[in-house]
Chain A
Amino acid sequence: MTWLSWRQQRTETIVAAALLALLAVVFVPEGIHIADYFVSHHVARCVDSQTQACSLVIGNFALSAGTLGALFDSGWLNLVPGLIGVALAVPLLLDLENGTIRLAWTQSVTRRRWLASKLGFAVGTVLLVAGCLTLLLTWYQRPFAQVYGRWDHFDFEWIVPFGYALFALGLALAIGVLLRRSAAALVVAFGIYVVGRIFVESWLRKRFIAPVSATLRSQNPNLHNAWVISEQPSNRAGHPFNGTPGVFQHCAKVGAKGFKILDPRCMERHGAGFTHVVYQPASRFWEFQGIETALFGGVALLLIAFAAWRVLASD
């Protein structure tokens, strides 16, 4: 049974491995270059420093990410766990579509054993590939994480990719057993995967735990790599500033070194001078990773269980 499960998903495994290899070819040399740059330019030393020299170092470091940084920012990499999950559902769906399930079920192994082996292989491969993916991207991002914190690349690092890939697998299996047409099921599953991801990322995630609100006396408060959900000028009580931009001109004065700065007391008199921020502190990163993985992984397990039940009960 083990051999059959492997043989049936060989093509899909090779495709997933090729995708990983392609990403590795792109990311590994760049990652080495960035890690070297981080060390040789003493970027670590500038992480919490506000000096001008340091902001130049940090700025140059940010530029060193180049096109790969743009790749991260565009979000296209979010599709990779989905592709992997959906692809590994194909062997089982083809069995259903082509009727070869009747061949397997009339040999000497029971349905339960057959299904356990097939699902075990699919889930195992998905987790393995997702593991390689997250290892590669987490390693690549490490120097950046030291400067900017981890929230920026929440979706690509540590444990959430496991949840995403399983979610895509579960969707494809569940929709596949309902539609019984593999190609259509894969397209629908991938669509739902994308919509689900966007929904969680843009609406649900910031609500996992009630965010922290604070009113800080600064134009540019340092939140220690927090995930800032909203940030707006306000008065001391945190009420949003609703004056006109004229206030800024009015309160501007020439500072010690000839730079124009805003007079804080003047700003405060006009209902400004503070920043009201709503954010998730950096310390919650792991908690959020856990919640998001449990959410996608949990839904994935339900979907896989549903698919398994439908397959076992079918006749």
Chain B
Amino acid sequence: MTAALETQALGRRYGSQWALQGCTLEIPRGAVTALVGPNGAGKTTLLRLAVGLTRPSAGSVRVFGLDPREQAAEALPRVGFLAQEHPLYGGFSIEEMLRVGRELNPGWDDEAAHARIAELDLPLEKKVRTLSGGQRAQVALTIALAKRPELLLLDEPVASLDPLARREFMQSILEAVAERELTVVLSSHILADLERVCDHLVILATGRTQLVGSIDEIVAEHRLLTGPRDAAEDVTRMHDIVRESHADRQTTLLVKANGHIYDSRWTVHELDLEEIVLAYLGQDAARRREAVLS
């Protein structure tokens, strides 16, 4: 079965600046993936490429094996997208927004859309421009879900929401995933927003993919090692070093382990996801500092 989303050396350039470069990843069907990275890492660009809003400058992107730009007629009905600013027609009522969804989507589930709005306690005749940020986000999500996509892309869906609206929004996504087979990709620069709902993780930094995989595997693979400085070289040969720090005689390594670490000179600690993500993002920040200095 083809992956829900697959990219090969995908890149997008604006002028001389690469917003995304050499991005290769594969997101399996049914996964709920957190797309994490600092601001400007290319998260929005990646999602926009996946839904065909943007054309690649290099490489390729496929959703369910389809080119979202060239095969838009087949690909578009299968992908839902929620832009960061939750664009809606301000002068329309909620009822009219639902009609937009109905008119533009052959697979539209009108009953589910109305049920969700009723559940949210939103009057159908209320104008979109009078809604709060959280309500707008919910209406936009309702439209994206009622389209019945197989892949749902959400760009910073909760960035503009207060904590309560954030929780309700995430709850809605969990419910949607529980109801039927749905692949979801959510981007955020704050991992805490996503950790509760996601089972896969993509770390994107300086426009490149740093890490792709299921969260369980990622947590299982990464270890913090402390040990003598002179033993560091042996570890480097075997495993990928994410971050290292050296004191006088003691060295601390955060490694992505390729297999078990048997060396008895090292004390091995387990890590939680946030520590791992921070290590990758810290690595990225260090690299950027170097780039500026050199």
Interface residues of A, Cβ cutoff 8 Å to B: 1-4, 7-8, 11, 98-100, 102-111, 315
Contacts and interface: CB of A to CB of B under 8 A. Distances in A.
A108 B107 contact: yes
Nearest to B104: A107
Interface string B85-100: 1011111100010011
Interface of B: 48, 51-55, 72-73, 76-77, 79-81, 83, 85, 87-92, 96, 99-101, 103-107, 140, 143, 147
B53 A102 contact: yes
B100 A105 contact: no
A103 B100 CA distance: 10
Contacts, number: 63
Q: 6 shortest A-B CB distances, which residue pairs?
A: A107-B104, A106-B81, A108-B77, A315-B54, A108-B105, A103-B87
B103 A106 contact: no
Contact of A106 (B76, B90, B96): B76
A1 B104 contact: yes
A28 B18 CA distance: 63
A4 B77 contact: no
Contacts of B77: 108
Given A3-B99, A98-B87, A99-B83, A107 B53 contact: no
Contacts of A7: 92, 96
B100 A102 contact: no
A107 B89 contact: no
Given A7-B92, A99-B85, A315-B55, A107 B76 contact: yes
Contacts of A107: 76, 100-101, 104-105, 147
Contacts of B54: 315
A103 B104 CA distance: 10
Contact of B53 (A4, A105, A110): A105
A109 B55 CA distance: 17
Contacts of A105: 52-53
Contact of B87 (A2, A11, A100, A111): A100
A20 B100 CA distance: 30
Nearest to A95: B89
A26 to B, nearest CB: 31
A11 B92 CA distance: 12
Nearest to A112: B72
B182 to A, nearest CB: 16
B89 A100 contact: yes
A4 B72 contact: no
B87 A108 contact: no
A191 B1 CA distance: 58
A111 to B, nearest CB: 7
A121 to B, nearest CB: 14
11 contacts: A7-B92, A7-B96, A98-B90, A99-B87, A100-B88, A102-B53, A105-B52, A107-B76, A107-B147, A108-B105, A110-B73
Contacts of B48: 315
A275 to B, nearest CB: 62
Nearest to A100: B87
Contacts of B106: 108
Given A4-B104, A99-B87, 16 more contacts: A1-B103, A8-B89, A98-B87, A98-B90, A99-B85, A103-B87, A104-B104, A106-B79, A106-B80, A107-B101, A107-B104, A107-B105, A108-B76, A108-B104, A108-B106, A315-B54
A98 B106 CA distance: 25
